Structure 1
């Protein structure tokens, strides 16, 4: 494609979903991806290779707030991080769009309401073929269209766990999942959570959205092409993007979908004389308000009872999502992790293999997740060309309370041994917030349709625009925003 009408930088949930939305317009769309397609390999279902050796992790380091180097664990490939995601496609709750107090601060809410995004949630659930139900969880917001498929069934031991949790007063519900369970298990008897999708069993950005976009002749994918800098004219309009090995690629519309950290870093790296603090940064908000869910793994065990589950990740509960159960502030979401095995546990804890195997065979593995609140000092910066991520964790007391409630419930449900471990603060647990959406150009980066306040022909469509992290997985919300942005672009830019 010698010339494009739209260049989309990044092929993750935001970029690929937007490409699928714009493709029927007939406009020439170029998706630029720094990575390559994943291809099947012996390491795809090898827990030691994935969790112990970091086989799929890129050879990249960032600096933390103490200027120490670390490997961030992001993935650069066609489909982005969604190739490895847990495929939990959960809507933000209606309350997440509204301001509300938390134990350690407050959430500012969104400049749009749940109702304004609801139809796009429906469209995203159909694009990603979500397996779910809206009838089990009292916190589930209204659906105008039902899920396209029934939930993935609990395995027998998870079904027993669901009964036990119900008996101790909780309200377990099915996790909405983008997984074709038969296809996934046909390629290997493992969970999908954190495993690469090379068999098509997960509905990720590549095989659900990008594949549909590429059915159109006007859509092209350029891989192995890292965007280095956005080029802006003196009048503030974007001229193109400088891509390693390809020079400057030009298009009337540029869409940045590289992820919360990389999108912010690219805007900052693109500073010029007219925009000395970086592009789209008149508000000085680019890179600020970085959020990363507060998360812990909680393992519940009975020494005499085995968990024979393979994948396990079909159950969640939100009894403490909107309050602490006593009229107090929200605590968060609890869902199952993909089944932890001996090799996974050994690689994460350094336990001897035989001990890790004994524990994993008897554990039910939970993922406790609490909201991280926006803080302008929690931020991404670029120093000497290197990314620095200084995450100021917030609302940790609420997370500790959530974990304590979970432990109490599972003990009452018949698990006398409960172990917990917080995720390392460097682990990328749903990074978001660095180019936040808002109506006021003085304190936000993009408007309610993800268009830059400063550059009319620049859109940012990924997790960086999320004003709040909420306490559920962000993938479906990113996809819904991409669909909404795509409709806006078609109506306002392609109408002529």
Structure 2
């Protein structure tokens, strides 16, 4: 038992040594880690069973000998990081270790596009792709995961990070094709502290409690090794975020525990059978124990009130298929809706800069693996004939791979080697004059032009989720081909070719493309969510139909492709699942033992979108009119969260948290809100008492948002909707118009605003259709949700009546 964990309790009649806990979480990837943290934080006893070992910084393979053992196949004595599956039509690469796929993912935390949450979209082979959740359901949970993961865009304009040619090349190529380019949020530490400037290779100022490994970390040093494990600890993988927090709250993290089967318990709840690989006992990152040759793993069983399956798409589906006879009632959807998320790999080769004989540097080994993303519009976006959308991202790789690629250039490398040896022999026998070897060695190594001017491209898109998973001889089988998904994949491939043309580069497919195969690192589906048992294994909150207390929290629950990197969506769905799970403290069946008490507040969440215009340099919002010469678009989307609704209503300032983004060409496009505050019907600044006289300002809706521009310069958005005592005719214009100012720095109050540099002003408006969407986003979580929502409505309408009533 590890320090800081809460032990399970013995179960009567369950056999000697059997433990019982409130929750068992199988797997520690994006779904399992979030669940472990949220449930342990709520006071439940949680055990995480992870088949792999812990991988602290410095333990990831780099030498040939280490890489030879870096794969997962326990039957062959391999307990490494990479688990490679091969099926008919596709191959899949997943991870095995504490932190799951976050150990080898490329850091991108992009949200699923709002319009891509289809309800009933017909599929080519029959049936429909249907998502029982909408973007509005997930936005507050997206915000929470981004906050915990420290997601920030790549700091392209900061010294030390500015010299990444591949990022600028992708941006230039997208602009030439008229496609949208963005710097996506990355779970990477570029700055040593939240308020510090980004700089490579600096020690991180992390307190010990957020680092379960106890190993020092440093900021990203642009080595391109994200996908083979970050030995610097610069990546905010799940072991540094949710799992460290889960352990702090008492979760028991058990590595080397490979779950083999699950079944309902005789008194309710569930029993979980596992194999224990002694080579990887413990989570502290110590070297694996060799064990006795040929010694079989030990077995064990845990019982629990609630069970969360988060072993990944392949792991969870395999486990459910193996346990199907013990879980009667699993519907016909089990094994369906498999998707490769449109994953595609291709290569730009020998980009040119417009001068004969010169190449355009791309340096794929410099930077994080992914820094930029190009979005392909979807017909659902209102672009007729475009088909199903997707994303294309730059795909870097470790710098040492460039040596391997150059060395593998057979004839050319052989000719250089032959010339080098011939010259040395000629000098030995006196046929050539002696001279320094510098020039000859330089010629032997070559100019490295191939690797420095070439770049992998990574594609993802909304392919067709028509694959099926099944068991054959106890082994998992996937039946999926690119047949129905061919138009989507061809479009991705065609756009990649166009990007190559825009950079005057050659183009090369992944060789497997011509064999009709694909390699996916984002397998999805197999236990999809649905609105009823006939179409889904679990409901929209991840609870399995017919099996109360059994939840699915990984990519297997997705009923279709995300269209971009799915990590953030999986984590957000898990966060939403936990909110619902904690609202039902009984759980686990009618005969389950009572659960420990925990305090639960009622929170309120809604999302607001406003759009308008901004004029750089305008001295006041009234001067920022649409006719101004430098007028440009400006927008924000904010998720407003009152974590404790009672406290929010009692607070005279009625302050809530604001998460989301602002979008402005002057600031470099869409920028995440780093810190946001919202005040609803607070006393207006400068108006004294809220009960100001007739015609005076009574209250204000105030917004204060901190963000950084594309050059990482701090900016503050501050705006006020002024609520005056007036006629009902003033209700709409005053509550839907937001004059704002943009200021330099991160400012905390009106006094600091007065001293700050004013960058410009503008005005935003809440459009009627945005208001309709906003009203549909109001959600409460916690006890007494409907009554809490009614109290908020009474407060809101009461304030409006005070101001605009007769």
**TM, length-normalised to structure 2:** 0.53
- Check the 8 A contact 1:62/1:387 in 2, yes or no: no
Counterpart CA distance in 1 for 2:60 and 2:505 is: 35
Q: Return the match for 1:90 from 110, 124, 136.
A: 110
1:364, distance to aligned residue in structure 2 (A): 3.2
Counterpart CA distance in 1 for 2:402 and 2:473 is: 36
Counterpart CA distance in 2 for 1:284 and 1:232 is: 20
Are 1:399 and 2:489 matched, yes or no? yes
- Check the 8 A contact 1:45/1:190 in 2, yes or no: no
Counterpart CA distance in 2 for 1:477 and 1:155 is: 31
Q: Return the match for 1:408 from 476, 486, 498.
A: 498
Are 1:328 and 2:374 matched, yes or no? no
Q: Identify the range of structure 1 (308-317 vs 13-22) with the bigger mean alpha-carbon deviation.
A: 308-317
1:197, distance to aligned residue in structure 2 (A): 2.9
Q: Return the match for 1:298 from 331, 337, 347.
A: 347
1:105, distance to aligned residue in structure 2 (A): 7.5
Q: Return the match for 1:338 from 396, 413, 422.
A: 396
Counterpart CA distance in 1 for 2:61 and 2:162 is: 24
Number of equivalences: 463
Are 1:247 and 2:284 matched, yes or no? no
Q: How does 1:218-229 map to 2 (within 5 A)?
A: 219-229=251-261
1:24, distance to aligned residue in structure 2 (A): 1.6
- Check the 8 A contact 2:218/2:232 in 1, yes or no: no
- Check the 8 A contact 2:117/2:135 in 1, yes or no: yes
Aligned to 1:213: 246
- Check the 8 A contact 2:91/2:519 in 1, yes or no: no
Q: Which SS does the other structure have where 1:4 is aligned?
A: strand
Counterpart CA distance in 1 for 2:104 and 2:566 is: 14
- Check the 8 A contact 1:57/1:74 in 2, yes or no: no
Mark the CA change 1:176 to 1:186 in structure 2 (over 3 Å): closer, same or farther.
closer
Mark the CA change 1:429 to 1:32 in structure 2 (over 3 Å): closer, same or farther.
same
Give the gaps of 5 or more residues in structure 1.
Answer: 134-149
Aligned to 1:428: 520
Aligned to 2:362: 307
Are 1:454 and 2:546 matched, yes or no? yes
- Check the 8 A contact 1:6/1:251 in 2, yes or no: yes
Are 1:170 and 2:170 matched, yes or no? no
Q: Deviations over 1:257-289 (max 9, x none)?
A: 0011110111111133xx5xxx37631222222
- Check the 8 A contact 2:338/2:560 in 1, yes or no: no
Counterpart CA distance in 1 for 2:137 and 2:549 is: 23
Q: Which SS does the other structure have where 2:263 is aligned?
A: strand
Are 1:474 and 2:566 matched, yes or no? yes
Q: Which SS does the other structure have where 1:172 is aligned?
A: strand
Q: Tell me which protein shows more strand as a share of its residues.
A: 2
Counterpart CA distance in 2 for 1:380 and 1:39 is: 34
Counterpart CA distance in 2 for 1:86 and 1:159 is: 15
1:12, distance to aligned residue in structure 2 (A): 0.8
1:165, distance to aligned residue in structure 2 (A): 3.1
1:23, distance to aligned residue in structure 2 (A): 1.8
Mark the CA change 1:347 to 1:15 in structure 2 (over 3 Å): closer, same or farther.
farther
Q: Which SS does the other structure have where 1:285 is aligned?
A: coil
1:254, distance to aligned residue in structure 2 (A): 0.7
- Check the 8 A contact 2:462/2:561 in 1, yes or no: yes
- Check the 8 A contact 2:263/2:323 in 1, yes or no: yes
Mark the CA change 1:396 to 1:185 in structure 2 (over 3 Å): closer, same or farther.
farther
Aligned to 1:146: none
- Check the 8 A contact 1:438/1:444 in 2, yes or no: yes
Q: Return the match for 1:58 from 66, 72, 94.
A: 72
1:327, distance to aligned residue in structure 2 (A): 3.6
Q: Identify the range of structure 1 (308-317 vs 259-268) with the bigger mean alpha-carbon deviation.
A: 308-317
Choose 1 or 2 for highest CA Rg: 2
1:104, distance to aligned residue in structure 2 (A): 8.1
- Check the 8 A contact 1:261/1:287 in 2, yes or no: no
Q: Which SS does the other structure have where 2:109 is aligned?
A: coil
Counterpart CA distance in 1 for 2:148 and 2:315 is: 26
Are 1:230 and 2:262 matched, yes or no? yes
Aligned to 1:24: 41
1:422, distance to aligned residue in structure 2 (A): 6.2
- Check the 8 A contact 2:92/2:523 in 1, yes or no: no
- Check the 8 A contact 1:20/1:212 in 2, yes or no: yes
Aligned to 2:529: 437
- Check the 8 A contact 2:51/2:256 in 1, yes or no: yes
- Check the 8 A contact 1:298/1:418 in 2, yes or no: yes
Counterpart CA distance in 2 for 1:280 and 1:95 is: 36
Mark the CA change 1:321 to 1:359 in structure 2 (over 3 Å): closer, same or farther.
farther
Are 1:284 and 2:332 matched, yes or no? yes
Mark the CA change 1:180 to 1:104 in structure 2 (over 3 Å): closer, same or farther.
farther
- Check the 8 A contact 1:240/1:250 in 2, yes or no: yes
Q: Identify the range of structure 1 (299-308 vs 477-486) with the bigger mean alpha-carbon deviation.
A: 299-308
Counterpart CA distance in 2 for 1:351 and 1:457 is: 57
Mark the CA change 1:246 to 1:357 in structure 2 (over 3 Å): closer, same or farther.
farther
Mark the CA change 1:387 to 1:156 in structure 2 (over 3 Å): closer, same or farther.
closer
**TM, length-normalised to structure 1:** 0.83
Bigger relative contact order, structure 1 or 2, given CA contacts below 8 A and separation 6+? 1
Aligned to 1:77: 97
Give the gaps of 5 or more residues in structure 2.
Answer: 1-6, 9-19, 75-83, 191-199, 202-216, 276-297, 353-357, 414-445, 587-594, 598-806
Q: Deviations over 1:183-216 (max 9, x none)?
A: 5876765214412134321122221110111111
Aligned to 1:108: 129
1:423, distance to aligned residue in structure 2 (A): 6.0
- Check the 8 A contact 2:117/2:131 in 1, yes or no: yes
Q: Deviations over 1:229-252 (max 9, x none)?
A: 1022479x5421011235210011
- Check the 8 A contact 2:91/2:520 in 1, yes or no: no
- Check the 8 A contact 1:296/1:368 in 2, yes or no: yes
Q: Which SS does the other structure have where 1:251 is aligned?
A: strand
Aligned to 1:36: 53
- Check the 8 A contact 2:346/2:496 in 1, yes or no: no
1:416, distance to aligned residue in structure 2 (A): 3.5
Q: Deviations over 1:463-495 (max 9, x none)?
A: 000011131010000110111011111111369
Counterpart CA distance in 2 for 1:71 and 1:331 is: 23
- Check the 8 A contact 1:280/1:453 in 2, yes or no: no
Counterpart CA distance in 2 for 1:174 and 1:126 is: 17
Q: Identify the range of structure 1 (354-363 vs 9-18) with the bigger mean alpha-carbon deviation.
A: 354-363
Mark the CA change 1:159 to 1:25 in structure 2 (over 3 Å): closer, same or farther.
closer
Q: Deviations over 1:151-187 (max 9, x none)?
A: x965442354223432442321112211113358767
Aligned to 1:140: none
Mark the CA change 1:200 to 1:396 in structure 2 (over 3 Å): closer, same or farther.
same
Counterpart CA distance in 2 for 1:62 and 1:159 is: 32
